[in-house]
Amino acid sequence: MTASPATSPAAGRRPDGSLKRASAGPPLRERKKRRTRQALIDTALELFTRHGFGGVTLDELCDEVEVSKRTFFRYFTSKEDVAMAPLQDLWTAFLEELQTGRPDGGPLLELARDALLAALDRTADEEWAHRTLLSLRLADQTPSMHAHSLHFCERTTQAALEILHRRFNLDDRGDPRARLAADMLVAAFRHSLTVWAAQAAQPSEPNSTSTPAGQELATRFRESVAALPGALTLTPGQATD
């Protein structure tokens, strides 16, 4: 006689006959929240790209996703906030990596670089890359998005410095080196992001083998960080007639 799914060993019983516990994943409510948040991001980027950032109201966005404005504000503070979400998610992951990463005794800048690379590895799949490119194009055309990005960058930098001061006992708040290291990291990432986005806009060769977007951005970022010491010692040559 064939065992029923409820009693079959393959259906969730251990060799001793006791029931296995289901693998723990995110609770259903958490999964629903993530889906709603992602739907808001994807729909916002689609509508803003199609009609322009100023051509879509918050009411129209919420109607499209079939959520209330109250629900929207549980996830985002503004249209700018939802439009910048892909990059903001990356920097949130960076702060998490900075909080938990194990230092190897190297320079602070290398620690921060590795934390951002780990965040890229976690976050930057092909869907993220597509959303990020849409967000960057919108930001180029929307001054309020650019201003929002600057404010977010400053808040994130301050949060990173707080983590570093707390974890590594950087007690001298008058020492500018930690702040300068954070600013250099951000500058290197912005440069790599600009190069990456420009390359992504170029048509690929018909038979070329494309590198995954996340890996390509990580490569550009490593190159930018590696160029920082040379930037500090770069000496302009004499002007020529």
Per residue in 177-194, pLDDT tens?
999 999 999 999 999 999
Average of pLDDT values for 95-120?
A: 91
Nearest to 221 by CA among 197, 183, 182, 185: 185
* pLDDT-derived band at 80, boundaries 50, 70, 90: very high
Cα–Cα distances in Å, from 200 out to 56, 126, 187, 195, 208?
A: 26, 12, 20, 9, 14
pLDDT of 7 > 50? The answer is: no
Q: Check whether residue 108 and residue 137 sit in a common domain.
A: yes
- Domain of residue 113, residue span: 84-202+213-226
Q: Check whether residue 133 and residue 180 sit in a common domain.
A: yes
* pLDDT-derived band at 26, boundaries 50, 70, 90: confident
Please check whether residue 186 lies inside any domain of the structure: yes
Q: Check whether residue 220 and residue 112 sit in a common domain.
A: yes
Alpha helices in the chain (DSSP H): 28-51, 58-65, 69-75, 79-83, 85-100, 108-123, 126-141, 143-168, 177-201, 213-226, 228-233
Contacts of 186 (CB under 8 A, 6+ apart): 153, 157
